[in-house]
Amino acid sequence: MKEIPVSVQLYTLREQCEKDFEGTLKRVAELGYDGVEFAGLYGRSAKEIRNLLDRLGLKASSSHVPLQELKNDLTKVIEEQKTLGSTYIICPFLMPDERNEPAYQGLISFLKDTGERVREEGLVLGYHNHDFELERLNNGKTVLETILDGAQSVIAEFDIYWLKKAGENPVEWIEKYMNRVPIVHLKDMTTDQLKSFAELGTGGVDLETVLSLGEKAGVNWWVVEQDICQRDPFKSIEMSLNYLKTKLPYLNK
């Protein structure tokens, strides 16, 4: 079995990062995570953070960078990611006024051009989905299909919670875009009517099949994220990692 490392999306720990960024990364390392996925740098320089990562034995798996930042300051973003050692730059979210057919076509053109520029710098541009991208357009395809098929230089960072929430099968999406899924967001969903975010292994998402596809699909990082935690977020990410250790034996080394 390919030993795919596991990182945590720091949005899960956003309040902790605001209060004590260094202490939060230290806790993440102590729990046994291999890396972190950034969602902002909390007022610190990329060099300062890289030094902290190196000291703690963590890697930057990837970074979520807002679309406007990609549009307005791509050169700075690229330099920061190189300093962090983060190969994957991920477009994480679209605002409501960016969710219409003309805007999607503009987005595809931007992602295509930006993805090619980023690759010239040795980095990779990706797109992270929520549930609204599973709506169908006039072409009969979903927004997500349209984006990924239109911007071939962009990889998919599938969020399996949001795929499931939209009534889709995450496994089918991973199989459809084999070798364009180097990062997967692992999330679980409660089985009640609320369909809330849940610690891995406590909900109804078919995590085992997703994990079994990792090597075949070319996954390089599993990313744990829980947008909202019903308990202390550190406990939530510990529970999720402990679940992964039962399914991925190499994590117990």
What confidence tens digit (pLDDT) does each residue in 3-15 have? 999 999 999 999 9
What confidence tens digit (pLDDT) does each residue in 208-249 have? 999 999 999 999 999 999 999 999 999 999 999 999 999 999
Integer CA distances (angstroms), 131 to 4, 90, 199, in order? 26, 17, 19
The predicted structure's pLDDT at residue 119: 97
Q: pLDDT confidence of 253, banded at 50, 70, 90?
A: confident
The predicted structure's pLDDT at residue 224: 98
Burial call 12-43: b when 16+ CB within 10 Å, e when fewer: bbbebbeeebeebbebbbeeebbbbbbbbbee
What confidence tens digit (pLDDT) does each residue in 142-189 have? 999 999 999 999 999 999 999 999 999 999 999 999 999 999 999 999
What confidence tens digit (pLDDT) does each residue in 102-124 have? 999 999 999 999 999 999 999 99
Percent of the chain with pLDDT over 90: 99
pLDDT above 90: residue 1? no
What confidence tens digit (pLDDT) does each residue in 75-101 have? 999 999 999 999 999 999 999 999 999
The whole-chain average pLDDT of the chain stands at: 97
Predicted structure pTM score: 0.97
